Copies of this chain bind each other. A is one copy, B any other.
Amino acid sequence: MTVNIKASFAFEFEQPTSALLQFEAADLPEQEILDCTTNITPTEHFARVGAQENIGERIWIRGEGLIEVDYTAKVQPRRELYDLAELSALSPHELPGEAVSYLLDSRYCPGDEFQSLVMKEFGDTSGGARIAAIRDWIYNHFTYAPGSSDPSTNATESFVARQGICRDFAHVLVTMARASTIPARYVACFAPGVEPPDFHALAEVFLADPELPGGGTWQIVDATGMADLNNTVKIGVGRDAADVSFITSFAPMNFRNSNVEVSADD
C-alpha cells in the first residue's frame, strides 16, 4: 500500500516573526518516504532541526507577510499492529528513562487530576486492556465536532465537554493513560479516512513488547475510530499538542487556510 499526501496551508505575520513548523511525514523504519516535495514562501531564515525523540524534523522560519506552505508525499507504511487488549503493561520501575517523562503532566494533559477517575471507572482492567477500554469509552461518549474546542482546550475541559476534534480525543486518552501509570504521547499524523479531511492526531502508549522480554514499544491508538492505523503516516510526537503543532508562532499570527488530502492505494 502507498499513502498519497497533499497538504497546504497559509498564514500571515504582521511583523517579522519566528515560527516553528512541523508538517512533513517523518522518515522512520515503520514508514518509508518514497517521494516528497516541500515548498515554502522564501523567508529571511529557514533552518531544519531534529524534532522530539528524533521523530521527524522541525523547520524554523522567520518571515513577514503572507507565507504559504505546500507539501506532497508518497509514503509506504509497514507497521506491525498488535491487538491492544492482549498487551500487558510494564511495571513503572521497568520503564526506560525516555518513557518516564511521558507519565508526567504536560500543558494539555494533566494526568494527576484523573487518577481517582481511572481507578473508579477502569480499575478492573490493566495494561493494553485498560487502554482499549479507555479508547472505546471515549469513542462511545464523545462527539467529533469541529469548532467545539479551541487551541487552549485541555483534557479536563474536553472530558466534561464530551466533544472536540482529534486533538481533544487524543489528549483525553493520553491523560487517562498517564493517570493509569502507562506512558502516553501525542502523535501528529496524516491518515486516510479522516472526515472532514485535515491533519490528524492520535496517541501512542508504551506497553510490553510481546517479542522483546522485559522491553516495551509504543503502540498507536485512535479514540476517534477514523484513522486506518495501517495507513497512518506519522509527522511527529510530543507530550501533547503543544510539542507538535504544524505551526507554532512566537508573535501574533493570522491563520489563513489549510487543505489536506490523504488517500491510500495498492
- A-side interface residues toward B, CB under 8 Å? 18, 20, 45-47, 49-52, 54, 58, 60-62, 91-97, 100-101, 103-107, 110, 112-117, 119-120, 141, 143, 150, 156-157, 159-163, 179, 181, 238-239, 242-243, 248, 250-252
Contact = CB atoms under 8 A, between A and B. Distances in A.
A177 to B, nearest CB: 12
Contacts of A97: 49-51, 54, 58
A49 B96 contact: yes
Contacts of A96: 49
Nearest to A20: B100
Q: Interface on chain A toward B: helix, strand, loop, or mixed SS?
A: mixed
A93 B156 contact: no
Contacts of A54: 97
Contacts of A106: 106-107, 239, 242
Please name the 5 residue pairs, one residue from A and one from B, whose CB atoms are nearest each other, closest first: A47-B93, A60-B93, A105-B242, A50-B97, A105-B107
Given A45-B92, A58-B97, A105-B107, 5 more contacts: A60-B92, A60-B95, A61-B93, A62-B91, A116-B252
